[in-house]
């Protein structure tokens, strides 16, 4: 296996990258050719690739700008372009395409030095063979079917992870796949800027939320640091009452207040505790430059409540979260939020937990929730605030946001540490409404049926070693998550409509050989 791409970058870039704001990434479009066919041909190559880049930019499908680059005709120009891409902090990847034949030995040095995401767009300028006029000049000028194979061979021989997309550049389906890959590429670039603050250790005796933090930094670039819980509790204590009152007003404007017979003043006081936690935690995270956080209900120090509403609001703002010290899921939630940033009509990304089943034939599914911490980006319909006792821990009743989630396809992912390697399990799921209201359940929920069905999906998940915590999104696909895993150099296991238990068991056994040896 080759090392992950995108983990290293030039020094001095970090400050700029480490921002909750969306970065203005660009992707470069590099066309390969050679000087064998003369200047007239090369002029046409350049003209064609410009038209293609303009067309794709104007399609409105790509989430990031495609930047046209002059035609590459020899080893020196190729090497220079890839190194410029490495150094350009706005460049999140290079898309390559061979208009004519481009001898692939010219690509070796450039590819060897290139460290960012790579896509090979296997396309051609013309859509149809010009039957009436085609001659050998046309064939030599338009031979992507030929040149892209020569180039592709070299990338395969060099074992460089890359995405290959085939189709005409004017075809929305092909451009959509490039658009999806662009978000994966941003996930690859941004992975090394994920920093997780742990304000508690993993829950005692729990296995699946544990993991090798050193290896996670080697593989993914994640920085995972621990703090005594009272260090962050001090930030909460220092929040001014006026700031808390302003935020509570915002809550009361934005959400339905579901006191359910509790004294209104007492209810408000409980909500105010969460407002203080939201402000204090966010100041801590901003000051120390973290993009994700884990908590633990059993280690709350001076905090008066388990952070519930506060964590839900922070997730909504883009922070990653994992409960009971689960830093792997916290980092994945952050990463998946970055990958979906700025998406039009996004349906949401959240930390989630498999809780309880409905096993009625024809209505099978898994009820998803957590003690409190589900991100309101996945909500459909009204979001309310409730204050209720927590069945675990020893603190006062925490305020939390309650809602049900959207319907439709989504992905649930679980990153596990198998001792000798990481595995990313990616399950395609179909989210549904539960049949009946659940008036006594005081937490946000989702309900889904894993593909291919509950029995095979759940059996596969368990055979693959998946956790009860997931990083969940309506806005990413299994393909995007699998491509991210490939770029990180880790194993990905898909559970989807095609999964059979027999095939999955074989795959897990083969993967043990492919990934278990280092
Ligand atoms: Mn949990």
pLDDT exceeds 50 at position 186: yes
Residues 293 and 260 in one domain: yes
pLDDT, tens digit, for every residue of 230-253? Answer: 999 999 999 999 999 999 999 999
Residue 437 lies in a domain: yes
Is there a single domain that holds both residue 127 and residue 200?
A: no
Q: Is residue 146 part of a domain?
A: yes
- CA-wise closest residue to 118 among 172, 81, 173, 71: 81
Do the domain assignments include residue 147?
yes
Measured in Å, residue 324 CA sits from the centre of ligand 1 at 6
Ligand 1 mean position, distance from CA 332 (Å): 15
CA of 443 to the centre of ligand 1 (A): 13
* Owning domain of residue 417: 195-516
CA of 431 from ligand 1 middle (Å) equals 20
Across the range 340-366, mean pLDDT stands at 97
pLDDT in tens, 142-163: 999 999 999 999 999 999 999 9
Local confidence band at 3 (pLDDT 50, 70, 90 cut-offs)? very low
- Residue 15 domain-assigned? no
pLDDT digits (tens, 9 = 90+) for 94-128: 999 999 999 999 999 999 999 999 999 999 999 99
Q: How far is the CA of 311 from the centre of ligand 1 (A)?
A: 14
Give the C-alpha separation, 509 to 494, whole Å: 14
Distance 481 CA to ligand 1 centre (A): 22
Taking the centre of ligand 1 as the mean of its atom positions, its distance from the CA of residue 445, in whole angstroms, is 14
* Residue 352 CA to ligand 1 centre (angstroms): 8
How much of the chain exceeds pLDDT 70, in percent? 95
Q: 107 and 240: one domain?
A: no
Q: Cα Rg for the chain, rounded, in angstroms?
A: 25
Q: Which of 169, 191, 213 is the last residue of a domain?
A: 191
Helices (H), 383-477: 454-464
How far is the centre of ligand 1, averaged over its atoms, from the C-alpha of 188 (Å)?
Answer: 27
DSSP per-residue codes, 62-121: -SSEEEE-PPB-SHHHHHHHHHHHHH-TTEEEEEEEESS---GGGGHHHHHH--S-EEEE
What's 86's domain CATH number?
3.40.50.10940
CA of 353 to the centre of ligand 1 (A): 6
In angstroms, the CA 33 to CA 125 distance is 14
Please check whether residues 282 and 428 belong to one and the same domain.
Answer: yes
- Look at residue 8 and tell me whether its pLDDT is greater than 60: no
Domain end residue (candidates: 136, 166, 191) = 191
**Domain co-membership, 187 together with 293:** no
User: 237 and 160 share a domain?
Assistant: no
Same structural domain, 325 and 203: yes
Ligand 1 center to 393 CA (angstroms): 13
In this prediction, residues 337-349 reach a mean pLDDT of 95
The pLDDT score that the predictor gives to residue 20 is: 59
| Same-domain pairing of 448 and 313 | yes
Q: Give the chain's mean pLDDT.
A: 94
Q: Does 82 fall in a domain?
A: yes
In this predicted structure, what is the pLDDT of residue 13? 34
CA of 370 to the centre of ligand 1 (A): 6
At 341, the pLDDT band (50, 70, 90 cuts) reads: very high
- Is residue 436 domain-resident? yes
Number of domains in the chain: 2
197: pLDDT strictly greater than 80: yes
- Ligand 1 center–CA 371 separation, angstroms: 7
Same domain, 203 and 172: no
* Within a domain: 2: no
Same domain, 181 and 205: no
pLDDT grade, residue 516 (50/70/90)? confident
State which of 172, 191, 210 marks the end of a domain.
Answer: 191
Together in a domain, 383 and 509: yes
* Distance of CA 391 from the midpoint of ligand 1 (Å): 13
Q: Is residue 17, in this structure, part of any structural domain at all?
A: no
Between the CA of 325 and the centroid of ligand 1 the distance, in Å, is: 9
CA of 354 to the centre of ligand 1 (A): 9
The confidence score (pLDDT) of residue 4 equals 43
Centre of ligand 1 from the C-alpha of residue 76, in Å: 53
β-pairing verdict for 320-322 and 292-294: parallel
User: pLDDT by residue (tens digit) across 48-88?
Assistant: 999 999 999 999 999 999 999 999 999 999 999 999 999 99
CB 371 within 8 A of CB 468: no
Ligand 1 centroid from CA 480, angstroms: 26
196 C-alpha vs ligand 1 centroid, how far in Å?
17
Reading the block at residue 491, the tokens are 């194993």
Instruction: Convert the pLDDT of each residue in 407-447 to its tens digit.
Output: 999 999 999 999 999 999 999 999 999 999 999 999 999 99
Q: Do 308 and 228 have their domain in common?
A: yes
């Amino acid at each position: 296996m080759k090392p992950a791409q995108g983990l290293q970058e030039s020094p001095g870039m970090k400050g700029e990258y480490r921002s909750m704001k969306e970065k203005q990434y660009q992707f470069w479009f590099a066309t390969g050719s050679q000087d064998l066919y003369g200047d007239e041909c090369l002029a046409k190559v350049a003209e064609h690739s410009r038209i293609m880049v303009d067309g794709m930019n104007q399609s409105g499908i790509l989430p990031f700008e495609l930047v046209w680059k002059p035609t590459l005709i020899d080893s020196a120009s190729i090497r220079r372009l890839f190194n410029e891409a490495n150094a350009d902090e706005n460049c999140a990847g290079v898309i390559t395409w061979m208009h004519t034949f481009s001898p692939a030995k010219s690509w070796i040095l450039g590819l060897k030095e290139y460290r960012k995401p790579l896509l090979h767009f296997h396309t051609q300028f013309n859509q149809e063979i010009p039957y009436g006029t085609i001659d050998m000049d046309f064939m030599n000028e338009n031979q992507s079917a030929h040149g892209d194979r020569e180039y592709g061979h070299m990338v395969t021989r060099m074992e460089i992870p890359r995405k290959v997309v085939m189709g005409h550049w004017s075809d929305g389906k092909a451009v959509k796949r490039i658009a999806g890959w662009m978000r994966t590429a941003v996930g690859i670039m941004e992975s090394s800027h994920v920093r997780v603050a742990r304000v508690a250790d993993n829950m005692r005796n729990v296995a699946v939320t544990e993991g090798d933090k050193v290896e996670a930094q080697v593989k993914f670039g994640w920085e995972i640091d621990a703090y005594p819980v009272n260090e962050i509790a001090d930030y909460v204590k220092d929040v001014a009452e006026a700031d808390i009152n302003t935020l509570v007003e915002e809550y009361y404007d934005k959400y339905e207040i579901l006191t359910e017979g509790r004294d209104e003043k007492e209810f408000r006081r409980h909500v105010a505790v969460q407002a203080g936690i939201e402000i204090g935690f966010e100041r801590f995270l901003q000051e120390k430059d973290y993009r994700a956080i884990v908590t633990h209900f059993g280690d709350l120090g001076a905090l008066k409540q388990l952070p519930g509403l506060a964590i839900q609001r922070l997730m909504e703002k883009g922070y990653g979260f994992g409960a009971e010290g689960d830093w792997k899921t916290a980092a994945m939630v952050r990463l998946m939020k970055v990958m979906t940033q700025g998406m039009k009509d996004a349906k949401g990304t959240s930390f989630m937990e498999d809780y309880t089943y409905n096993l009625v034939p024809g209505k099978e599914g898994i009820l998803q929730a957590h003690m409190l911490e589900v991100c309101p980006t996945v909500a459909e319909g009204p979001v309310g605030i409730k204050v209720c006792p927590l069945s675990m821990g020893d603190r006062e009743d925490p305020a939390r946001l309650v809602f049900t989630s959207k319907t439709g396809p989504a992905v649930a992912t679980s990153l596990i540490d198998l001792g000798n390697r990481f595995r990313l399990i990616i399950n395609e799921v179909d989210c549904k409404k539960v049949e009946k209201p659940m008036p006594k359940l005081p937490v946000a929920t989702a309900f889904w049926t894993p593909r291919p069905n509950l029995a095979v999906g759940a059996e596969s998940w368990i055979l693959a070693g998946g956790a009860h915590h997931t990083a969940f999104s309506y806005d990413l696909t299994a393909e995007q998550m699998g491509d991210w895993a490939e770029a990180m150099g880790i194993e990905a296991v898909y559970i989807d409509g095609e999964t059979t238990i027999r095939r999955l068991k074989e795959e897990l056994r083969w993967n043990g050989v492919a990934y278990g040896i280092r």
